[in-house]
Amino acid sequence: MSPTVRKRRLGAELRRLRIDSGLTGGQVAERLLISQPKISRLENGHCAISPRDVRDLCALYGVTDQQVLNSLMRMAKESAQQGWWNCYGDIPYSIYIGLETDAHSVHCFAPLIIPGLLQTPAYAQTVIEETIPLITAEQASNRLKVRLRRQHRIYDPTGQLRLYVILDESTLRRVVGGPDLMREQLEHLNALSAEPHITVQVLPYSAGALSGAAGQFSILSFADSPEAGVVYLEGSTSDLYLEKRSDLEHYDLIHTHLRARALSPDNTRHFVSDIIGNYGAATP
């Protein structure tokens, strides 16, 4: 389990214990002489939770089961460990990477750009350099290394990520980096879509206006806790992570509707092959 997921699981358990104790976040903050925003960050897994924090909170919540306390303390210690991505500096979507690292499956809809897990190095580099304002060469290099490292999940035979991707037709026709680069990217996409653990479907223009077609989203599910999924909404300045059951059901329904209107996986590969032909023959 990645440090990110440990923090979120631990935070969720502490929130459950607080609610069971009948205390509000404000009451907890007042009694422990800390700020209420810190309580929210702890419970949402947005900051590190020290063993001391766990001990103080459990004492306040009346937790007497030593086995429960030991388990929570162990999770706190493990959550302080760094994930593999930390060595690349400040990566804004590091929370998502931590979740993706532990996810069993990801269902996503991409209306503009082919998702990072399916990108070639050249396509990824171009997207990073052209979509992030004022990015430095070092930052772009680190972003590219992280993106390619994330792709290990779809090649690892011992823990392959199950991937369900719906692409809007515009992602195939938007020329990123020139015709040769796009041809290489689409050939790579078709090759990956033939893998049994990767399902790719294209939503053609002819499908018309559909619910959910206005923005990108990903639904992450975890094998050891299917009910604890996360919806990830990527933003230009900040990201959203939705964990309420109603939000998960809402986006799952949208994804299901989009899949039903999209081309089948086999027809998608034929569709992509036709577009590849539009980019002409490879430059010798």
- Choose the final residue of a domain: 81, 104, 134: 81
Taking the whole predicted model, whether its pTM rises above 0.95 is answered as no
Q: Are residues 39 and 135 in the same domain?
A: no
**What is the CATH classification number for the domain harbouring 9?**
1.10.260.40
The token pair that represents 158 in the structure block: 């011992």
**Given this model, what pLDDT does residue 49 score?**
83
- The Cα 192–Cα 195 span in angstroms is 5
Please tell me which residue, 86 or 162, carries the higher pLDDT value: 162
Confidence label for 197 from pLDDT (cuts 50, 70 and 90): very high
Classify the C-alpha dihedral 190-194-200-205 as positive or negative: positive
Name the nearest CA neighbour of 227 among 12, 7, 4, 3.
12
Asked if residue 284 belongs to a domain, the reply is no
**Given this model, what pLDDT does residue 41 score?**
84
- The count of structural domains within the chain is 2
Is the pLDDT at 140 greater than 60? The verdict is yes
**Given this model, what pLDDT does residue 214 score?**
64
Q: Are residues 43 and 68 in the same domain?
A: yes
Is the pLDDT at 106 greater than 60? The verdict is yes
Q: Are residues 273 and 179 in the same domain?
A: yes
Task: Note the pLDDT tens digit of each residue in 68-96.
Answer: 888 888 888 877 777 778 788 778 888 88
What residue numbers bound the domain in which 253 lies?
A: 89-278
Task: Note the pLDDT tens digit of each residue in 23-47.
Answer: 999 999 898 888 888 888 888 877 7
Q: How many helices (H) and strands (E) does the chain have?
A: 12, 6
Is the pLDDT at 283 greater than 80? The verdict is no
**Given this model, what pLDDT does residue 282 score?**
58
**What is the CATH classification number for the domain harbouring 210?**
3.30.870
- Choose the final residue of a domain: 62, 81, 100: 81
Task: Note the pLDDT tens digit of each residue in 250-276.
Answer: 999 999 999 999 999 999 999 999 999
**Given this model, what pLDDT does residue 111 score?**
92
